[in-house]
Amino acid sequence: MAEQIATAASAFEQQRTGLKPKAVSVILTGSTLVITLQGALSEAEKALAQSSSGAAQVLELHRQLFANGSASLCRDIVRITGVALGGVSAQMEPQAGAIIEIFATGTLVQVYELAQSVPTEAWSHAGVDGVGGEKDAE
């Protein structure tokens, strides 16, 4: 599942920004799904993100892009995991949603709250909760 979600997240990012991340990591702990996209920012965005006001502008841009186009990725996550999302938002919500953080290094982190935990045996053959996957972009 982690590799499938990583592939979907990479394709989503490339579609919405025109940039393919260098690597994507996916980790599931309980009902929290974390997607880390490394190399997801353009050189201009990375330069802008060096200052706190510029970082806020880049973050807001990506929140808007996410808010306006995340439905396809959310559908992919639900299809792959077989679990509904507890809610999705480009802003942090106290009970459910998605959180987006951006780092000046070009790394983008998305956190999703699922409506329930994914059965461990469905997520990982090893049967260990919290096991994730990583996929280098090809």
Taken in order 5, 14, 87, 34, the sign of the CA dihedral is: positive
What's the mean pLDDT in 6-16? 91
- DSSP-based three-state secondary structure for 85: strand
Distance CA 76, CA 73 (A): 5
Indicate the range of 8-12, 37-41, 108-112, 130-134 predicted with least confidence: 130-134
Torsion of CA 8, 89, 97, 81, to 10 degrees: -20
- The pTM assigned to this predicted structure is 0.76
Amino acid found at 127: G
Residues 64, 90: contact at Cβ < 8 Å? yes
| Summary mean pLDDT of the chain | 77
- DSSP-based three-state secondary structure for 73: helix
